[in-house]
Amino acid sequence: MTYRIQFVCLGNICRSPTAEGVMRGLVTQAGADIEVESAGTSGWHNGKLPDARSMAEAKRRGYDLSSQRSSQVSQADFDRFDLIIGMDHSNMANLRAIAPCGAKAEMKMLLDYLPEQPLREVPDPYYEDGFDQVFDLIEAACRAVLADVTAKE
Ligand code: 4NP
């Protein structure tokens, strides 16, 4: 059965679209039966393309984010997805605040998949920059997510 993963950040224009694009690429390469989407907790950028800096970094690494549009996470997502992965503690708090009782989705923080990585949260690059470091973290963690999910199937 298809396994569904949603990546979540604040704006759904930097970190989670990058995770969606990378994970889709890895899933296609692996031929895994996994669907991948992303959303933001805020809805501030609904309908917008990913940030130009995220798209440029992704393009440099061979990933295309240009078909993605920002959307806001909804309560229905907790039953549509098997796994919802946030980027930082604030995302997780926002997700827990709207999660319906008895929701199907498991909730994880992305860098929990990289226990040896000293950073525990994916830094928000929107104001700080560092899109290349953020991409490295997300790519490494997505490889670990894929290994974990496929090992369970
Ligand atoms: P993201 O980054 O959560 O990785 O998409 C942000 C994008 C926009 C804003 C903050 C973070 N903002 O304040 O508009």
The predicted pLDDT at position 88 comes to 98
Mutate to test the pocket of ligand 1, among 14, 20, 65, 121 (most ligand atoms within 8 A of CB): 14
Q: Which two tokens stand for residue 71?
A: 């959307």
Whichever domain contains 21, its CATH number is 3.40.50.2300
Number of domains in the chain: 1
Q: Which range of residues forms the domain containing residue 19?
A: 3-152
pTM over 0.95: yes
Tell me which residue of 2, 7, 1, 5 sits closest to 92, measured CA to CA: 7
Distance 10 CA to ligand 1 centre (A): 5
- With a CB cutoff of 8 Å and minimum separation 6, the contacts of 1 are 33
Give the pLDDT confidence of 7-21 residue by residue, as tens digits.
999 999 999 999 999
Distance 121 CA to ligand 1 centre (A): 14
CA–centroid distance for 81 within its chain = 12
Query: Is 14 considered catalytic here?
Result: no
Give the pLDDT confidence of 126-140 residue by residue, as tens digits.
998 999 999 999 999
Give the pLDDT confidence of 31-89 residue by residue, as tens digits.
999 999 999 999 999 999 999 999 999 999 999 999 999 999 999 999 999 999 999 99
% of residues, the chain, pLDDT over 70: 99
The predicted pLDDT at position 1 comes to 92
Atom in ligand 1 nearest the alpha carbon of residue 12: 5
The predicted pLDDT at position 152 comes to 83
CA distance linking residue 106 with residue 11, whole number of Å? 21
Query: Is 15 considered catalytic here?
Result: yes
Q: In which band, very low, low, confident or very high, does the pLDDT at 121 lie, cut at 50, 70 and 90? A: very high
Tell me which residue of 76, 59, 81, 79 sits closest to 68, measured CA to CA: 59
Q: HEC string of the chain?
A: CCEEEEEEECCCCCHHHHHHHHHHHHHHHHCCCEEEEEEECCCCCCCCCCCHHHHHHHHHCCCCCCCCCCCECCCCHHHHCCEEEECCHHHHHHHHHHCCCCCCCEEEEHHHHCCCCCCCCCCCHHHHCCHHHHHHHHHHHHHHHHHHHHHHC
Instruction: Determine the average pLDDT of the residues in 90-109.
Output: 97
